[in-house]
Chain A
Amino acid sequence: MTPGWLVFAAGAGVVVGLCGSRAPRVWLTATVAGAAAALAAALWVLIAGQTWDWRFAVTLGGEALHLRLDGISAFFLALLALVGGLCSIYAHGYWRDEDHPASAPSGRAWWSTVLVSMALVLLSTNGLHFLVAWEAFSVGNYFLITRERHKPEARSAGWLFLVASHAATLCLIVFFAGLAARTGSWELGPMQYRSELAPWFWLALLGFGIKAGFFPLHIWLPSAHANAPTHVSALLSGVSIKMGIYGLVRFSGWMPAPDGAGWVIAAAGAASAVLGVAFALGQHDLKRLLAYHSVENIGIILIGLGFAMVAAAHEEYAWGRLAMAGSLLHVWNHALFKALLFMGAGAVLHSTGTREMSRLGGLWRAMPWTAALFLLGAVAISGLPPLNGFVSEFLVYLGLFGAVSAHTSGSWTAAPAAILLCITGALALACFAKAFGVVFLGLPRSDAVARAHEHASAMRVPMLLLGLACVAIGLVPAAVWALLAHAIATWQPGWTETAPPASVVALSEFHVGVAVFAGLGVWALRRRVVRNGLTRAPTWDCAYARPTARMQYTPGSFAAIITAWFGWILHQRRRVVRPAGPFPTHASFEEHTPDTVLDQVVRPGGVLVMRAAGAARRLQHGRIQAYVLYVLIGVAGLAILAVTGGAR
């Protein structure tokens, strides 16, 4: 067996799944087997440190089919295979034929299509094939997002996704066509030496940036993630948006980057990180909240990538390598804990029927597994030791501190980036204390919680595996270093060093110590409490005798201090009916945080375009006389041009 055969087996598995999508078990078995084969191939390439290259005799669209699995594509393929495979298992339990007889079978077909086309995006080395696979993946995603198309909000989310995706595809078509015109071939590969290609990178940044969803190109992301079925949200957030990051990593490595591209990417990353989490704090819908955290985490990834590009331009190997390692590792980490969190949110939605956090509460009793795993994901995404989220942020910090210490021109920008990254971490902590506390702790806020129950193992097993992966990367980050090192060496051919830095090894030991002692501490304290004896009593509400669950802090009130700080961009809408008179009968409070970029920039822009188009449409009215007039005016104009221009 070689990676080539494994990739072939993976493709065969997923295609069998695609053909057998009518039969759920056949589909699941074939897809998971295919994902396992793809994972094995990717890990093989990453561990062996080699590149697998396969040219076919077949031509597609006049271009010879050429697939390549190198360090970077293997790094992303491993992610696609692992998270995609686990999400497939979850989908099997979450979107069953019994509940969704119409949409489940076609959903499985689109799911397989998306998996195959994402793998092709990663493997193809031909611009034309890349575009075809990219388009198939975007369209497939559209059909996955609109599984519940009887709901108007799902339709509008799908529409927005489709428009944004096509804006991205348009940029990429121009980008690839431009490259093909300049280089004379659709073949893609290293072209750093052709410095005249540098300006084309901006188009790639725009196209891949829309897919990755960094601020302010994230407009499609919150509604698509919130309204898609949860297994789709997990795949979208874990893997699909990473295709945008793949594109950026790939072409920042292959192409000569224009001056300042690193700074722009890092600045966009810092803005996404802080504003993404600020918008997340304003949300009351659990899935929308998680969606905005994708914007935040893409920001963290881009801070690392941006500074790595700066380092590459200045040939600063030492800290550039750390920033890049942090960025790439965060790509994996974010996929692991975000898929875990979405699956947890899906389990909550499935059993309570609501995503509205202010109607939930106290779910840990009915769903202890989901609660524990969601807590694990929350700690990981807040970037707290000893889990994986901290490891990648730690590496990014090391890169930034290294840039500050290096004291080269412009490296002062790493200081504000480090401060903003720290603020992001603190805000994410606040947001996940809120999300976990409001949904799983305290008392039930509505009857929706009464129906809650734990789920079938098809939904629990993938969550458990994702949680284990988070713990494993957190405790032994040195073990994944070799894989990272190969991906980095592929990105910048000079940056080869396989031994993990001493600080990662030390951090690994420290994490194990913290985990062991935290466990021991909890055990000892529990033992002591039980031995001393305990009494149960109602919560002490400062001597108030009849507390109710409605008196608990709500998600809005928990985040109120911070959302007020970000009021300049959040523009929250509130509808308040104050209690009036000596015997008030009715009072209500409603709060809503719309997406500012979408509502105040894109929509007015769209309205403007429509108005201009409407005005232009008046020229087309079907009266022949007027058309003759147009022709005459045109001819007259041409005649004038010919006479005046012909004089020269």
Chain B
Amino acid sequence: MKFATSSIHVCASIGIWLLLAPLLPGVINKVKAWIAGRTGPPVLQLYFDLARLWRKQIVLSTAVSPAHVAGPAVAFVALVGASLLLPLGRAGAPIAFEGDAVLFVYLLALARFATATAALDTGSAFEGMGAAREVSFAVLAEAAIITALLVLGVQTGSVSLTRMLAPAAGAGTMLLAAGLYMVLLAENCRMPFDDPNTHLELTMIHEVMVLDHSGPPLAVILHGAALKLLIFCVLLTEAVVPLGGLSPLVVVATLGGAVLLTAVGVGVVESMQARLPFRRVPMLLTTAFLLCLFALMIAWKRNPL
């Protein structure tokens, strides 16, 4: 009985995450179009793209190994796994145990490893470049995330995301939010870290890693990227807003509103800011890490357990 309810919970969560994820890039693009005075693509554009890509033929490089197709699939499964650890509303996460916060960080890392390996598989200089940047910048981003999790851990005395994210982040909330927001932009390859729309391969990170992907694997990659964006938006929202004690309806409304607001914010930043030169990216990420570190110090001082 318990197994049945928990598997229904898991399946429902997967469905919600996967269905809603492609909405966010659409929202961001719409915001960018509005600010630029264009009409822009429809909000549901990514859904159409995914459906079309899923039916398409694929062009595979002659150099690639089976890892080229396996990589996106593994990355996608890892991201879905990470999404299952995040609580949605009062019922908590479908899968929750002490230590799942660490697992969350390492599932994101698994997705990164799979993507970078699939990129190196093509033997292209550009894709090597993208993979190198991705894994290097992720070192700093990951340090910021674990610091943010330590903040939440100090406040709640727990290592499970469901319990860590129920209350707000306390006195250091603003610092933590700023730090996590920068990590969100970096990890999802958004301005000012990466330009999702550029046409110059030399200056890209994420997009250049997937140059040689097409058809269904590309659909899986795009869907995974959207899912990762949603995961970070939800993580940011729940770290800042105390959703733990609210009624279900309010939780859904707050979560939805805050996630949309974050997406709009990403769109606004993207319209206002130019991409940073690559040598400045580590500095910005270090700033994000330091913000989280200050939040940790505040949390430590405020919680003499």
Please indicate the chain A residues that have their CB under 8 angstroms from the CB of B201 in the complex: 542
A430 near B: Cβ within 8 Å? yes
Task: Evaluate contact between A553 and B58: CB separation under 8 angstroms.
Answer: no
* CA of A440 to CA of B121, assembled, Å: 9
Assuming A384-B110, A539-B212, A552-B123, is B143 touching A422 (CB within 8 A)?
yes
* CA of A440 to CA of B63, assembled, Å: 11
A24 near B: Cβ within 8 Å? no
A1 near B: Cβ within 8 Å? no
Please indicate the chain B residues that have their CB under 8 angstroms from the CB of A23 in the complex: none
Q: Residue of A at shortest CB range from B105?
A: A422
Task: Evaluate contact between B139 and A553: CB separation under 8 angstroms.
Answer: no
B245 near A: Cβ within 8 Å? no
B178 near A: Cβ within 8 Å? no
Q: Residue of A at shortest CB range from B145?
A: A422
Assuming A398-B159, A513-B81, A534-B58, is B106 touching A384 (CB within 8 A)?
yes
8 Å CB interface, B132-169 against A = 132-133, 135-139, 142-143, 145-147, 150, 153-154, 157-159
Q: Residue of A at shortest CB range from B211?
A: A540
Indicate which residue in A405, A537, A547 contacts B59 across the interface (CB closer than 8 Å): A537
Task: Evaluate contact between A541 and B124: CB separation under 8 angstroms.
Answer: yes
Please indicate the chain B residues that have their CB under 8 angstroms from the CB of A401 in the complex: 99, 101-102, 150, 153, 159
Between B128, B138, B211, the greatest number of chain A beta carbons within 10 A of the residue's beta carbon is seen for: B128
A375 near B: Cβ within 8 Å? yes
A518 near B: Cβ within 8 Å? yes
Task: Evaluate contact between B303 and A407: CB separation under 8 angstroms.
Answer: yes
Task: Evaluate contact between B106 and A441: CB separation under 8 angstroms.
Answer: no
Task: Evaluate contact between B74 and A522: CB separation under 8 angstroms.
Answer: yes
Task: Evaluate contact between A539 and B63: CB separation under 8 angstroms.
Answer: yes
* CA of A501 to CA of B304, assembled, Å: 27
Assuming A383-B106, A529-B69, is B133 touching A561 (CB within 8 A)?
yes
Contact bitstring B14-56, A, C-beta under 8 A = 1, else 0: 0000000000000000000000000000000000000000111
Interface of B is mostly: helix
Q: Residue of B at shortest CB range from A431?
A: B135
Task: Evaluate contact between A437 and B120: CB separation under 8 angstroms.
Answer: yes
Contacts across chains A and B counted by CB atoms under 8 Å = 262
A279 near B: Cβ within 8 Å? no
B113 near A: Cβ within 8 Å? yes
* CA of A535 to CA of B60, assembled, Å: 6
Task: Evaluate contact between B106 and A430: CB separation under 8 angstroms.
Answer: no
Between B61, B62, B124, B154, the greatest number of chain A beta carbons within 10 A of the residue's beta carbon is seen for: B124
Interface of A is mostly: helix
Task: Evaluate contact between B59 and A553: CB separation under 8 angstroms.
Answer: no
**Which of the 9-residue segments B215-223, B234-242, B250-258, B259-267 touches chain A?**
B215-223
* CA of A384 to CA of B73, assembled, Å: 16
* CA of A423 to CA of B109, assembled, Å: 11
Assuming A513-B81, A532-B215, A553-B132, is B54 touching A385 (CB within 8 A)?
no
**Which of the 9-residue segments A70-78, A91-99, A503-511 touches chain B?**
A503-511
Please indicate the chain A residues that have their CB under 8 angstroms from the CB of B125 in the complex: 541, 547, 551-553
B196 near A: Cβ within 8 Å? no
Assuming A433-B113, A525-B217, A541-B125, is B59 touching A535 (CB within 8 A)?
yes
B226 near A: Cβ within 8 Å? no
A364 near B: Cβ within 8 Å? yes
Q: Residue of B at shortest CB range from A395?
A: B99
Please indicate the chain A residues that have their CB under 8 angstroms from the CB of B138 in the complex: 426, 429-430
Please indicate the chain B residues that have their CB under 8 angstroms from the CB of A559 in the complex: 132
Assuming A425-B142, A532-B57, is B305 touching A539 (CB within 8 A)?
no
Please indicate the chain A residues that have their CB under 8 angstroms from the CB of B157 in the complex: 405
Q: Residue of A at shortest CB range from B160?
A: A503
Report which B residues bind A (CB closer than 8 A). Answer: 54-67, 69-70, 72-74, 76-78, 80-81, 95, 97-103, 105-107, 109-110, 112-113, 116-117, 120-126, 128-129, 131-133, 135-139, 142-143, 145-147, 150, 153-154, 157-159, 201, 211-212, 215-217, 220, 282, 296, 300, 303-305
Give me 14 other A-B pairs in contact (C-beta within 8 A), A385-B103, A406-B305, A525-B220 excluded: A364-B65, A401-B159, A404-B150, A405-B305, A423-B143, A426-B139, A440-B65, A442-B122, A524-B73, A529-B216, A532-B55, A536-B59, A541-B124, A547-B124
8 contacts between A and B (CB under 8 A): A398-B159, A415-B300, A422-B143, A441-B121, A442-B128, A506-B97, A510-B103, A553-B132
Report which A residues bind B (CB closer than 8 A). Answer: 361-362, 364-365, 371, 375, 379, 382-385, 390, 393-394, 397-398, 401-402, 404-407, 412, 415, 418-419, 422-423, 425-427, 429-430, 432-434, 436-438, 440-443, 501-503, 506-507, 510, 513-514, 517-518, 521-522, 524-526, 528-529, 532-542, 547, 549, 551-553, 557-562, 565
The 9 closest A-B pairs by CB, nearest first: A553-B128, A437-B120, A442-B123, A506-B97, A430-B135, A521-B73, A561-B136, A422-B146, A426-B139
